[in-house]
């Protein structure tokens, strides 16, 4: 089976730093993705990790430990517009390179002033 | 910036009717996907399509569902006989093999 766990909700204030954790148990692993989803909108790509370590991209960083089945998304200098749902998704190996993403339930982040 | 487009944005149908949801993937992408998201729930994989055939499908993608790439640009999802529980947001996505780019979605409401 496939299982991806994230906290349901988190709150933070403008300017702060927040870390959203994700743990996964999947039948194979071929990369981990973080997406942002505002209410009623499509997921938009934030980051991708396939090797262990930290990937930094502006205010957003993502970390992966494959041996622990663990990732986190770090958001710095929070802004009100960062209020959204953050989705952790694992790509599992399949027949072709373009394989399915298995999503977690998402973490709803509320940023207050 | 190229983007995935979907039509219609909202579709209302009666139970038992057929619906076709349409997508235009990003033009140089090779892999196409359909996902759905029931209100308040997680995004769920339905099917992936590569080289003019289905490469993977989930258990949700039963005989009521089909996909087609009728020409060089469109990618469609057909639900033959809709059920109440098919009410959801349906997202099309495409990729060149890395990150998947999602369209804005079609909200399907089955009455």
Closest to B75 (Cα-Cα) out of B102, B55, B94, B96: B94
The reported pLDDT for the residue numbered A98 is 56
Which residue, A105, A9, A24, A101, is CA-closest to A68?
A: A24
> Hey, how many other C-beta atoms are within 10 angstroms of the C-beta on B37?
21
Q: What is the mean pLDDT of residues A35-60?
A: 95
d(CA A110, CA B102): 23
CB contact A102 to B (< 8 Å):
yes
What's the average model confidence in pLDDT over A45-55?
Answer: 96
Task: Write the DSSP assignment of B4-57 as a string of letters.
Answer: -EEE-SEEEE-TT--EEEEEE--TT--EEEEEEE-TTS-EEEEEEEETTEEEEE
Q: Does B102 touch chain A (CB under 8 A)?
A: yes
How buried is B27 (Cβ within 10 angstroms: 0-12 exposed, 13-18 middle, 19+ buried)? exposed
Q: Does B91 touch chain A (CB under 8 A)?
A: yes
Partner residue facing B48 (CB), from A41, A44, A99: A99
Is there a contact between B98 and A105 if contact means CB atoms under 8 Å apart?
A: no
- The residue with tokens 């057909």 is B78
- Name the CA radius of gyration of chain B, rounded: 13
pLDDT score of A95: 58
**Per-residue tens of pLDDT for chain B, all 111 residues:** 889 999 999 999 999 999 999 999 999 999 999 999 999 999 999 999 998 899 999 999 999 999 999 887 899 999 999 999 999 999 999 999 889 999 999 999 999
Q: Which residue of A has its CA nearest to B96?
A: A98
Q: Which residue has the tokens 């196409």?
A: B32
Looking at the complex, report in whole angstroms how far the Cα of residue B61 sits from the nearest Cα belonging to chain A. Answer: 13
| Confidence at A96, pLDDT banded by 50, 70, 90 | low
Length of chain B: 111
> DSSP label at B93?
E
Out of B42, B91, B104, whose CB is closest to A105?
Answer: B42
Among A4, A3, A23, smallest CA distance to A67 is for A23
Rg (CA), chain A: 14
On whether any CB of chain B is under 8 Å from the CB of A42, the answer is yes
Choose the closest CB to A45 out of B55, B97, B99: B99
**Chain B contact present for A96, CB below 8 A:** yes
Contacts of A99 in chain B (CB under 8 A): 48, 55-56
């Amino acid at each position: 089976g496939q299982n991806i766990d994230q906290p349901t909700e988190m709150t933070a204030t403008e300017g702060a730093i927040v870390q959203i954790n994700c743990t996964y148990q999947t039948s194979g692993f071929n990369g981990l993705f973080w997406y942002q989803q505002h209410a009623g909108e499509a997921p938009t790509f934030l980051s991708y990790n396939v090797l262990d370590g930290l990937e930094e991209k502006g205010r957003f960083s993502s970390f992966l430990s494959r041996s622990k089945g663990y990732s986190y998304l770090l958001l710095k200098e929070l802004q009100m517009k960062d209020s959204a749902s953050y989705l952790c998704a694992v790509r599992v190996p399949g027949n072709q390179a373009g394989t399915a993403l298995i999503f977690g339930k998402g973490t709803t982040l509320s940023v207050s002033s | 910036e190229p983007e995935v487009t979907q039509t219609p944005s909202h579709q209302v149908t009666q139970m038992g009717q057929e619906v076709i949801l349409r997508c235009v993937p990003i033009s140089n992408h090779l892999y196409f996907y359909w996902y759905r998201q029931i209100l308040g729930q997680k995004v769920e994989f339905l099917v992936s399509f590569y080289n003019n055939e289905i490469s993977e499908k989930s258990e949700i993608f039963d005989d009521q569902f089909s996909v087609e790439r009728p020409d060089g640009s469109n990618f469609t999802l057909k639900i033959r006989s809709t059920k109440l529980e098919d009410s959801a947001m349906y997202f099309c996505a495409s990729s060149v093999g890395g990150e998947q780019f999602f369209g804005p979605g079609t909200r399907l409401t089955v009455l």
